[in-house]
Amino acid sequence: MALTLCLKTGVVPMSPTTGLYLVKLDSGFSVPTKLKSIRKSDRERLRIQAVFSFPPAFLTRNGRAEKQKQLKQDLLEAIEPLERGAIASPDDQLRIDQLARKVEAVNPTKEPLKSDLLNGKWELIYTTSASILQAKKPKLLRSITNYQSINVDTLKVQNMETWPFYNSVTGDIKPLNSRKVAVQLKVFKILGLIPVNAPDTARGELEITYVDEELRLSRGDKGNLFILKMFDPTYRIPL
């Protein structure tokens, strides 16, 4: 009778010495139900342990660093032939924006305005700002290089052009949060010498979306993208 029950249910009656029921397995062997449960639990634990012991490369510190380096390189290579954005087509601008967003997604500095990395003189290498690019002017009348400097401790900002006019402007910044500032321009210098007070309307906002020791990305309140590389980390805006 016991054997008939075993064949129908697959369960062998309790062992009088161990107190365990035996379960019929596909292999034809029987193991204690408690032991079977333990083995399942162990397999699950080991599976979970393996996932977290050997995470995908991009989750490790070295993996994140390599991904960040590659994304930056892709962006810089795409920017290089575009003359800082002056000859960028709408398709070029879209591609650069997409690459920039990938870089922004791996920003290592979550609160730029609390970091010294923001300080110094940065060289503009790409922008979508038509007023800065002046693409409609003859090439000889456009600034060859543009710089922007920020001093977080004194809340000052300075934009500078080089040849042929060396115009510059200084202003104040007011933090709106840990990555965005309100900008109020104060004094223009024509030819780098003649001071002219800026109108009260010369204001805007700037969000720092990525910054490390060598690269900075910012977005303005008019939707423009600014990409800059570090030129001189020791530079201070004259007071």
pLDDT tens, the chain, 239 aa long: 443 433 344 444 444 444 443 333 333 333 344 434 445 565 555 455 544 444 454 556 788 899 999 999 999 999 999 999 999 999 999 999 999 999 999 999 999 999 999 999 999 999 999 999 998 899 899 999 999 999 999 999 999 999 999 999 999 999 999 999 999 999 999 999 999 999 999 999 999 999 999 999 999 999 999 999 999 999 999 98
- Contacts by residues 61-70 (CB-CB < 8 Å, ≥ 24 positions apart): 64/106, 67/106, 68/103, 68/106, 68/108
Decide: 232 and 103 in contact? Cβ < 8 Å: no
The tokens describing 116, both together, are: 């010294």
CB 135 within 8 A of CB 216: no
Q: What is the pTM of this model?
A: 0.75
* pLDDT for the residue numbered 141: 92
